[in-house]
Structure 1
Amino acid sequence: MGRRHRVLAGDTLASIAREYGFRDWARIWAHPDNADLRAKRRSPDLLTPGDEVFVPFREPTWRTYTPNAVHTFVLAEQRRTLHLVLLRPDGSPHAGCRYVLQVGQEQFEAHVPTSGNIVHELATDNDAGTLEIWLHPGTERPATFELKIGHLVGVEEPLGRQARLANLGFYRGPLDGVEDTEDSRTAARAFARRHDVEPTDHTALWVRLEEVHGC
């Protein structure tokens, strides 16, 4: 028994689990009624608006306690991982650059490690943030990026391909899911040249795009 949740923009399994009172999103993802969804999307972080997620009813948990006493309950906060890779146009990492990440009330300030990877644990109740990064030593003004956390859809969707090409610096047009435009075709060809893929082999091209992007 349960109900079906229709995915909206920004939904992830973590945010859906939080909405329905589950501490562990994996219990929802692993449910047999979500087998088709798992086969289609592969990752719980790449849900697409319009997808349907089966959410089972929660089973009550019973505990026995001594009457006339004080009992303390601790509810662990749900967190999710944000993983960003910060690279220059030539593919080298922005190592050593100062950055400030702001998501909701949480702020993180550090320097980009040599790998270019920055990883932070976040609350599940925010799907937007900003990243400021000082790209060169002595720079007073940072480059600012608006983040839409949880909005990335699968590479099998046109919008997912556009977003990945934009994140990698190849696409500069609107994120509208319309690929039959000169901007989209130019971005795909540029990516194919950079990564030695035949631009007309769309299957190989999008597989490579997912690999380079990281998801």
Structure 2
Amino acid sequence: MARLFRAHRFQFQPLEQACDGPYDGCLFWGNQIIMPESSRDKLTPEEWAPLIASELVYQRKLLEKRRLGLLIRILPLTAVYVIIPAVLWQLGILNLQGMTTVRGAPTPVSVAFFELYSGTALIFTMILYDVLGFRFNRQMRLKADAIAASMMSKAVFLSALEKIGRAFPSILTRGRPSLTYPPGRPSVEKRIEGIQAATSF
């Protein structure tokens, strides 16, 4: 977990309350920038600039695309999940004949089954959102890095990430070193590779 500090014109003040934040980025709280206190002495203000720019691009430009992209990916899979038992039932492969008891009342097996199955569909959707969401987050953040690198100094951006990677080896090759660390972030190594690839053309 990274302790955070509030940055106002690069005058750093510790936060009064604890919250989780990334070592290689920042959070936005209203009109304030929240950055990890443990990274405060690792980078210069100039090196912080591309990291902040990348987060701004992600939050202001790519977040809506992330939501739309997830919706496009999740809805068809959820629809297939819901339709499969109905198709099997209509084909006679799934036998839902007879009656059962639900909350003390006689209920057709087919009704009871689909009520239960609709609940599992919600769980299935939530699992998809987590699995696909974290992966999509990483892709969007790498894209935000590429956009930020095209607007700012590539050398400074790479220098900042390399310093963070040396200071915090746990996030050099892994995007999430612990369960308390913010999910859906690419590793520092992937970020460096992404910037180099995006700016090599």
TM-score (norm 1): 0.25
Greater share of residues in strand? 1
Higher radius of gyration, 1 or 2: 2
Identify the structure with the greater helix proportion.
2
Query: Greater relative contact order (Cα 8 A, min sep 6): structure 1 or 2?
Result: 2
TM-score by length of 2: 0.26
